[in-house]
Structure 1
Amino acid sequence: MRWIALLLAAGLAQAEPTVPNAAWSQAWLDQAYLPRHAALTQSADALASASKAFCETPTPVQLDNVKQDWLITSQAWRAMDGAPAGPMVLERLGRKIDFRPTRPDDIEAAIQGSEINNAATRGLPAMEYLLWGNAQPKLQLAKLKQPERCAYLSKIAAQIASDAHVLDQPWSVYRSELAAENAFFRENLLSEHINLLLSSMSSLQKRMPTAEGVKPEQFIEWRSGSSQAQWLAQWDGMNLALQAVLQRLRDDGASPIANKVQQDIAQVNKNCRNLPTHLAQSTASARLACSKSVATLKAIIEDQIGEQFDLTLGFTEGDGD
């Protein structure tokens, strides 16, 4: 597999890390990664089907169905992005399915030419624009009754499903490699996955602007009004992957570190879960408290978990895409 060769050449870990055994490694994948992939592919398939049905019968009810499936799929993607790993990184799935910022002019031009090879004219952000416009949802039904526009919507949805399913086999191969006689993938498991978690935490902070007077357009998914739900989906994916790390800390006799991380996770939940559905309606102080709690959690992972497991932690915010 191409992605395996790339990962072997990457040299992701420079230190001598803690090496999990095959059973633990595969259990982490089975519990925290593969279910999120399954949720993404299932929701993307439903989105593709709903989009096709809507274009055949473009009614308000059918449009609502597509919007609901888009919300589910987008949150499933955000959960995956909360804790990415080898296959999705090396396939650059984020660029294919979640290219930002949204470029309406490019999308409008693409509708006329039926071109979706440009990353800016495909994926979930492009669908959000077609379904909600620039926060003008009531105007979109009439627009989407135009055959070429609806056909483009359906084509994007089908491409999202196809892109998600590209990872079906790589995830299976990755799982097998974690039990291989050659321990390379297990040796790099903690370093790679925790680095990617840290990168996602940086992304999560960027999704929570903390200044006074921010405009709705500064919040990702402002068109669909789902910025808080999307933020929490990414956080929940991250939190799910962290639970195995906490258990490993306890197994290694580092319960005090695990307990402190668990306390910091609880603080993120306390500060972030009760913000308004539209994050633009939240106060700057509330958003700042949420962002700071994520920063505190990120710091202890970088410092204490990295030291406990003897990991090299040094990915940048751009890694993971």
Structure 2
Amino acid sequence: MIKGLVSRIALIASWLGVIAAPAQAADFAAFNAGYARDVVTPAFKTLAGETRKLAQAADDFAAQPSQDGFAALRVTFDSVSDAWMQAQFFRLGPLGAQQRSERFEYWPEKRPIIDKQLAALLAKADPDALATEKFAQSSVAVQGLPALERLLYGDAARQVLSAGPEQKARIAVIQAIAHNLDTVAQELAAAWEQAQAEPKLFAQDPNEATAQLYAGLMTGLQIVSDQKIAGPRGQTLDKAKPKSAEQWRAGRSLKNIKLNLQALRDALAGPSGFATLLGADQAALKDEIAKAFDAALAAVDAAPEPLDTAVTDAEGRKKVGALLIAVNHLRDVLNQKVPAALGISLGFNEMDGDGS
């Protein structure tokens, strides 16, 4: 596991074009270890705790379907989604391996296949295909949160309570997805726990590892800007794509953006975040980072909910546009000013050239 993780770090470094800056006074090895211990690992442990509750709720509902059980499933779906939004941008290492990120949340859809593949899965409802190990090898389109969202919040979601012919199949697929999400989350938490115990993970080139960890956050911020905000908003009102918003069926699109920004702020400016690498002479930059995050989060709060409705309304679009401007300003600060101050250099990231 660790050898594979180290190899992936080296591969991603080459892929991203990260070039290590000259050695700085900062102790990058100590920072990386603290960042993994205090920022990344807790996020995945929290995720694993929430997916365990989701799997249990799915089992309880399967044993005795009820309105209360269905409501409990939605609550645990929300809790897992909350935790995922605070962990999904720690892409280096375990999350990037074995398609775990795509298996947890296949979004945005490169092509509209989730509905089609989910319908096929429900039509067959083959117990063997839904068994944990077999299901983990199925299409990523049906393994994670987007497919589960359709079952809990889609047009036909209440069929799971109707005692009709589709009820059994829907409950079985809900269970399969819930347990798959739990399996992935437990793997992620365990992998990061194991990585902390292996000092060689960050010791081979600590500066380079710091650059890669930072690049992962910048990729995450680009996803917020380009895919979570600009994508649904479109260039003009007639080009808005409201149904491309993340988790719009569950009404979570803006909440997800806020959780992403809060997690990124903690990773940048928290007690074990990247700002701890900035010297005392960088107080003005620290203040600029804090103000940029405050402005972006305030813009989220000012945007009308739900996002998929706001982007199709002239007044709503103005506030979503203001959010986009605030997030892009934050991106500029973090991309243009911070790396040099940290003593790292960034090249291309994994979103460059991505047409999705």
Alignment of 1:218-233 (within 5 A): 218-233=244-259
Residue 296 of structure 1, CA deviation: 0.9
Residue 207 of structure 1, CA deviation: 0.7
Please, what TM-score do these two structures have when normalized by structure 2? Answer: 0.81
Q: Which residue of 1 aligns with 2:302?
A: 274
Whether 2:186 is the aligned partner of 1:152: answer no
Residue 286 of structure 1, CA deviation: 0.6
Q: 1:166 aligns with which of 176, 187, 190?
A: 187
One-letter amino acid of the structure 2 residue matched with residue 197 of structure 1:
L
1:174-233: CA deviations, max 9, x gaps? 2234x4497225222321111111111111112113342635413221111121222222
Whether 2:19 is the aligned partner of 1:14: answer yes
Higher mean alpha-carbon deviation, 34-43 vs 180-189, is at 180-189
Q: Which residue of 1 aligns with 2:150?
A: 129
Residue 140 of structure 1, CA deviation: 4.5
Q: 2:216 aligns with which of 187, 190, 196?
A: 196
Question: How many pairs are equivalent?
Answer: 317
Whether 2:311 is the aligned partner of 1:311: answer no
Higher mean alpha-carbon deviation, 14-23 vs 279-288, is at 14-23
Q: Which residue of 2 aligns with 1:4?
A: 6
One-letter amino acid of the structure 1 residue matched with residue 349 of structure 2:
F
Alignment RMSD (CA, Å): 2.5
Q: CA, structure 1 residues 25+3, in 2 after alignment: closer, same or farther (shift >3 Å)?
A: closer
Q: CA, structure 1 residues 109+318, in 2 after alignment: closer, same or farther (shift >3 Å)?
A: farther
Residue 38 of structure 1, CA deviation: 1.0
* Contact 1:83–1:237 (8 Å) recurs in 2: no
Rounded to whole Å, the distance in 2 between the matches of 1:310 and 1:224 is: 39
* Contact 2:292–2:326 (8 Å) recurs in 1: yes
Q: CA, structure 1 residues 78+150, in 2 after alignment: closer, same or farther (shift >3 Å)?
A: same
Q: 1:92 aligns with which of 99, 114, 133?
A: 99
Residue 146 of structure 1, CA deviation: 1.8
Q: CA, structure 1 residues 44+319, in 2 after alignment: closer, same or farther (shift >3 Å)?
A: farther
Q: CA, structure 1 residues 185+169, in 2 after alignment: closer, same or farther (shift >3 Å)?
A: farther
Rounded to whole Å, the distance in 2 between the matches of 1:55 and 1:275 is: 38
Alignment of 1:44-83 (within 5 A): 44-83=51-90
1:58-111: CA deviations, max 9, x gaps? 100000000110011012112111443322123432111101336112111112
Please, what TM-score do these two structures have when normalized by structure 1? Answer: 0.89
Rounded to whole Å, the distance in 2 between the matches of 1:34 and 1:319 is: 30
State percent identity of aligned pairs: 17
* Contact 1:21–1:186 (8 Å) recurs in 2: yes
One-letter amino acid of the structure 1 residue matched with residue 277 of structure 2:
R
One-letter amino acid of the structure 2 residue matched with residue 247 of structure 1:
T
Residue 280 of structure 1, CA deviation: 2.4
* Consecutive unaligned residues in structure 1, runs of 5 or more: none
Rounded to whole Å, the distance in 2 between the matches of 1:176 and 1:221 is: 36
* Contact 2:218–2:331 (8 Å) recurs in 1: yes
Rounded to whole Å, the distance in 2 between the matches of 1:316 and 1:23 is: 26
One-letter amino acid of the structure 1 residue matched with residue 329 of structure 2:
T
Rounded to whole Å, the distance in 2 between the matches of 1:255 and 1:319 is: 35
* Contact 1:88–1:167 (8 Å) recurs in 2: yes
Q: Which residue of 1 aligns with 2:328?
A: 295
SS of alignment partner, residue 233 of structure 2: coil
SS of alignment partner, residue 273 of structure 1: helix
Rounded to whole Å, the distance in 2 between the matches of 1:281 and 1:137 is: 21
1:258-302: CA deviations, max 9, x gaps? 211111111101111233341123311111111111111111211
Higher mean alpha-carbon deviation, 24-33 vs 180-189, is at 180-189
* Contact 1:96–1:122 (8 Å) recurs in 2: yes
Rounded to whole Å, the distance in 2 between the matches of 1:91 and 1:318 is: 22
Higher mean alpha-carbon deviation, 57-66 vs 9-18, is at 9-18
1:25-64: CA deviations, max 9, x gaps? 2222222211111110000000000011001111000000
Rounded to whole Å, the distance in 2 between the matches of 1:172 and 1:218 is: 35
Rounded to whole Å, the distance in 2 between the matches of 1:182 and 1:79 is: 23
Residue 144 of structure 1, CA deviation: 9.0
